[in-house]
Amino acid sequence: MKSEILVQCEHLTKIFPGKKALDDVNLKIGRGKVVGLLGPNGSGKTTLIKIWNGLLQPNFGTAMIDGTPIGTYTKSQVSYLPERTAIPIWMSAGQLMDFYQDFYRDFRRQTAEEMLRHLDIRPTQRIRQMSKGTREKVQLIMVMSRSAKLYLLDEPIGGVDPATRDYILTTIISNYNPEASVILSTHLIADVEKVLDEVVFIDKGHLVLQSSVDQIREEKGMSVDALFREVFKC
């Protein structure tokens, strides 16, 4: 029988020279959730995302996705949106889809084509000809067009205008498998709160809180944004 737990960390610790980025983090995230990974700058959010994505190795502890330790198999199950746009700007939109199709067996080209069409982006259009906001949207479309088990989105709405933010959030919640989960890190909590099922607060490498959004509203009588400001005094 398939476990309801998709992501699990036990005693996860990551040390960089002169800094403990993650300190004994224990965490479980279920399937079919949109989870906000929230914390101040330098709190350990990106480090945690990179460990789940297999880009960093922990010094101590374990991390698993769908019951499997992080490794070659789990990398194929994760779709990752880095904080900075990382698509080759010399490519056209069509070449970018070719690249994703060659590289990822779970890439749904028809889904990507439909979303690009909605934005009036032609397959022949070069990435370098697009605005920053459009490039962000195109990269997100590629990431969300995979049939992944876990989508890791690092600051997906940072540095874009409010209309682009709304488009990005709608794209996220409309295009993931109900069996999959989405973990997104952000400091723009008020903007993403409406799409979140759960939140994880992290600070100085420590897990501060994990809760459902409904529980915060019912028990604390406040929004996630208000609780975040109270916890982190910002």
Looking up residue 132, the CATH number of its domain turns out to be 3.40.50.300
Q: Quick one: average pLDDT of 160-185? A: 86
Task: Count, in order, helices (H) and strands (E) of the chain.
Answer: 9, 10
Q: Quick one: average pLDDT of 27-42? A: 94
* Lowest-confidence pick of 22-26, 170-174, 213-217: 170-174
Task: Give the pLDDT band (50/70/90) at residue 233.
Answer: confident
Range of the domain at 70: 5-232
Number of structural domains (the chain) is: 1
Q: Give percent above pLDDT 70 in the chain.
A: 99
Say how far residue 24 (Cα) sits from the centre of its chain: 22
Q: Give percent above pLDDT 90 in the chain.
A: 73
Q: What is the pLDDT, as a whole number, of residue 111?
A: 93
Does 234 score more than 70 pLDDT?
A: no
Q: What is the pLDDT, as a whole number, of residue 172?
A: 86
Evaluate whether 157 touches 126 at the Cβ level (below 8 Å).
Answer: no
Distance CA(36)–CA(195), nearest Å, equals 9
Q: Quick one: average pLDDT of 156-168? A: 83
Task: Give the pLDDT band (50/70/90) at residue 166.
Answer: confident
Distance CA(233)–CA(224), nearest Å, equals 14
Does 1 score more than 70 pLDDT?
A: no
* Lowest-confidence pick of 23-37, 108-122, 172-186: 172-186
Among 185, 213, 179, 186, residue whose Cα is nearest residue 199 = 213
Question: What is the dihedral angle through the alpha carbons of 187, 130, 106, 27, rounded to the nearest 10 degrees?
Answer: -10
Does 143 score more than 60 pLDDT?
A: yes
Mean pLDDT across the chain = 92
pLDDT in tens, 16-32: 998 999 999 999 999 99
What letters, b where the CB count within 10 A reaches 16 and e where it falls short, cover 85-98?
eebeeeebbeebbe
Instruction: Collapse the DSSP code of 56 into the 3-class scheme (helix H, G, I; strand E, B; otherwise coil) and give the result.
Output: coil
Q: Quick one: average pLDDT of 144-166? A: 88
Does 41 score more than 90 pLDDT?
A: no
Does 48 score more than 70 pLDDT?
A: yes
What's the predicted TM-score (pTM) here?
Answer: 0.93
